[in-house]
Amino acid sequence: MCGIAGLIHRGKSADIGTEMTAMLQSLKHRGPDSTGFALYGNPTDNQYVMRFKVAEQEDMNKGFDIHRQIAERQKEVDHRLESLGVNVKRRNQATEYSHRYTFSFAGDMRKLADYVEDIDGVEILSIGEALELIKDLGDAAVVSEQYGLAGFEGTHGIGHTRMATESDVDIRSAHPYWAYPFNDVSVVHNGQLTNYWSFRRRMERRGHRFVSDCDSELIAVYIADRIGQGDDLEQAMNRSVDQLDGVFTYLVATSDQLGMAKDVMAAKPMVLYESDEFVGLASEEVAIRSIFPDEIETWDPYHGEVKVWQV
Amino acid sequence: MAGVGHKSHGKRHDKSHDMGLHAEQLTGRTQQRFFSAAEEENFTYPWAYDVDFDKTAEFDAEEMDSSAINLKIRELMQSGHGTITVKNPRAKHGVGVGILNRLNLKFEGSLGYFGCGLVDGPNIHISGRVGWSCAENMMAGKVVIDKNAGSTFGAAIRGGDLVCRGDVGSRTGIDQKGGTIIVGGRTGAFSGFMMQRGRMIICGDASKSLGDSMYDGTIYVGGQVEDLGVDCVPGEMNDTELKWLKTKLGMYGIEPACGIENLKKFVSGKQLWNYDNLEPAEKKLVL
């Protein structure tokens, strides 16, 4: 059991950091292990935001040498970015092991990602013009406070509260997943994929990289693979419902779209609310009601249903 | 605990056949009963609170958690309040559960998961929506929802009426063992899954695998049926059922767009599960 949530402010920007925190905090009972946010801010021309980590949270308790190691890893990231001609405009540090860089770059983004992730212990959480992906251990309030998400202005976002079932409690197994190497694509998932290993091997043979053993990562990779083959988001999601086995409900966001898909057994929950100004989705209505105190019309999508909204 | 009287006689016997109950008429609290708040004999628990329907109370649940809301309802019943209004339940989970008493209870707003589960006797009205597993294991009483409902609506209910005026999610009435479920709109996949007894009336469309693996019971559908599940077969409507449907739907002012007389009936084909030939002692084991 995990909790997922998403929201869209149609045609305007709002404090989605605070709103997503409230939604995910109200889903804490569905998964207290870790919390993740994929927030879509207001992009600046030709500027990318990269969120990456240079260690796991649990690594911080493993001896005195870790502080020297992570400082070296960050220095190596800087060195490699410079060698690729990346112009880093701003460096922010939310925790000792997680960083946010703003940069401009005209080269091959996949090459950049591969080169940076080649450094031992370094993992890129997201790259995008609008997307900022934040995930860490703890509930929504803790992670939001730690990363200063209150006041984050944006148009849409998705989030996840995790109850680990098939992989470790660590940041690499936490959601959302970035659909490497596509800018601004992120995925959150509630459920279990039963053909994960066979499908993962198929995706690895096609050259995709997996950073964790979490079955949910497969959805991000699958969506990236389909987009790479020319599908639009809705086509890729419709195909996933036929090809992925198991019980699942998942959300995908891009810079201008947000979609949901539900498996053919309709075994995992999702509640929707839609108005002219706002779209809210969550595993439980209580999450939507955390930002809408008044009575609203909500409903459950049905089996195998895929919906994509334009932001 | 239900007893099993496997031999019925006279009119009652005929009615049970007409209503699709074959020869096995359950007695006790699992039997189909037409609930009336005025029927004192419906409320037999010796510890039930003596409430007065004219004694009303209301409270705002906005700042209360689920257990505080349930405790407050119990305290009000204890002090004799028979009509309680709960404002702003705000889709909280597990609210209005375990009420084994006569009570008129109104929720002004929506409930989350497991709302009104394990109830036996109250008359509950919810002006908003309900989440998954509403009225799970209800024994008797009425639960009426004005808007939509989530999945596993009325799971394993044994009696009473559960009514949703809007659309409901998947697996409606899973493991239903009695009572009546009424859906004003459409219902999701696998509705009536492993249904054992009771009736379900779906005024709108039914998604795939309707009545999958059902043992017994009856499903009526007004709209389109995407497909039937394993061992669910069309049945033939008779006059007794039609009369019952008119009475039952009339109680809630619900009428399917196709008209009551055009509702389609579905029952178990009894190829997968068939306990009709078992000895009474064996029936007790499986029921």
Q: Is B266 on the interface with A (CB under 8 A)?
A: no
> Is A294 part of the contact surface with chain B (CB cutoff 8 Å)?
no
The CATH number covering residue A110 comes to: 3.30.70.1110
Rounded CA separation B199/B177 (Å): 9
Task: Assess whether A243 and A292 both reside in one domain.
Answer: yes
Residues of B in contact with A266 (CB under 8 A): 151, 169-171, 188-190
Residue A243 lies in a domain: yes
Interchain CB distance below 8 Å, B189 and A303: yes
Nearest to A285 among B62, B131, B167 (CB): B131
Q: Residues near B250 by Cβ (< 8 Å), separated by ≥ 6? A: none
Could you say which of A80, A111, A128 is where a domain stops? A128
Higher pLDDT, B98 or A64: B98
Using the Cβ of A1 and the Cβ atoms of chain B, whether some distance falls under 8 Å is answered with no
Residues of chain A falling short of pLDDT 50:
none
Total tally of structural domains belonging to chain A: 2
Is residue B224 predicted with pLDDT exceeding 70?
Answer: yes
Residues A198 and A302 in one domain: yes
Mean pLDDT of B207-234: 95
| Residues A209 and A291 placed together within one structural domain of the fold | yes
Contacts of B91 in chain A (CB under 8 A): 284-286, 288-289
Q: How many CA atoms lie less than 13 Å away from A269 in the CB half-sphere?
A: 28
For residue A146, tell me if it sits in a domain: no
Range of the domain at A92: 48-128
Interchain pair B132, A265: CB under 8 A: no
Q: What is the pLDDT, as a whole number, of residue B11?
A: 63
CB A173 within 8 A of CB A53: no
Residue B131 in contact with partner chain A when CB distance is under 8 A: yes
pLDDT at B286: 45
Q: How much is the pLDDT for B3?
A: 37
Rounded Cα distance between A127 and A177, Å, is 11
A-B contacts at Cβ under 8 angstroms:
72
CA B229-B232-B233 angle, to 5 degrees, is 130
Q: Is residue A149 part of a domain?
A: no
The tens digit of pLDDT for each residue in A14-37 reads 999 999 999 999 999 999 999 999
Q: Is A217 found in the same domain as A91? A: no
Residues of A recognised as catalytic: 2
Question: Does residue A141 form part of some domain?
Answer: no
In one-letter notation, the amino acid at residue A51 is R
**Half-sphere CA count of B250, side-chain side, radius 13 A:** 7
Tell me which residue of A134, A112, A109 sits closest to A53, measured CA to CA: A134
Same domain, A187 and A286: yes
d(CA B117, CA B265): 28
Q: Do A299 and B208 touch (CB under 8 A)?
A: no
Q: Decide which of A128, A163, A193 is a domain's last residue.
A: A128
pLDDT category at B32 given cuts 50, 70, 90 is very low
In a domain, A289, yes or no: yes
Distances in Å between the Cα of A224 and the Cα atoms of A41, A218, A230, B46 are 21, 10, 10, 63
**Residue whose entry in the numeric block shows the structure tokens 């239900």:** B2
pLDDT of residue B2: 38
Whether residue B25 is predicted with pLDDT greater than 70 in this model: the reply is no
CATH of the domain at A165: 3.60.20.10
Percent of chain B with pLDDT over 70: 80
Q: Are strands A34-41 and A153-162 parallel, antiparallel or unpaired?
A: antiparallel
* Nearest CA-CA distance, residue A168 and chain B, Å: 28
Whether residues A182 and A86 fall in one domain? no
Q: Which is nearest to B266 in space by CA: B233, B217, B239?
A: B233
B145 Cβ under 8 Å from any chain A Cβ: no
Contact assessment for residue A240 and residue A265, using Cβ atoms and an 8 Å cutoff: no
Tell me, yes or no, if A284 comes closer than 8 A to chain B by beta carbon.
yes
For residue A222, give how far its alpha carbon lies from the nearest alpha carbon of chain B (Å).
Answer: 26
- Whether residues A74 and A213 share a domain: the answer is no
- pLDDT at position B183: 98
By C-alpha distance, the chain B residue nearest A262 is: B170
SS3 A114: helix
Do A22 and A65 belong to one domain? no
Beta-carbon separation of A266 and B147 below 8 A: no
SS3 A75: helix
CA dihedral A138, A139, A141, A142 (to 10 degrees): -10
Nearest-angstrom CA–CA distance, B30 and B48: 19
In terms of domains, do A250 and A161 share one?
yes
pLDDT at A181: 84
Kindly state whether residues A109 and A252 are assigned to the same domain: no
Given a cut of 70, whether residue B139 has pLDDT beyond it is yes
Are B169 and A293 an interchain contact pair (Cβ–Cβ within 8 Å)? no
Confidence of residue B212 (pLDDT cuts 50, 70, 90): very high
In a domain, A57, yes or no: yes
Say if residue A29 is in the same domain as residue A93.
no
> Residue B62: closest CA among chain A residues belongs to which residue?
A293
pLDDT digits (tens, 9 = 90+) for B41-79: 555 688 889 999 999 999 999 999 999 999 999 999 999
User: Is residue A20, in this structure, part of any structural domain at all?
Assistant: yes
Give yes or no for residue B180 having a pLDDT over 90: yes
Q: What are the phi and psi torsion angles at A191 (to 5°)?
A: 145, -165
pTM: 0.87
Q: How confident is the model at residue B270 (pLDDT cuts 50, 70, 90)?
A: confident
Q: Is B54 exposed, middle or buried (0-12, 13-18, 19+ CB in 10 A)?
A: exposed
Does residue A133 form part of some domain?
Answer: no
Same domain membership, residue A102 and residue A62: yes
User: Comparing C-alpha atoms, which of A274, A42, A251, A44 is closest to residue A161?
Assistant: A251
Rounded to whole angstroms, the Cα distance separating A267 from B171 reads 9
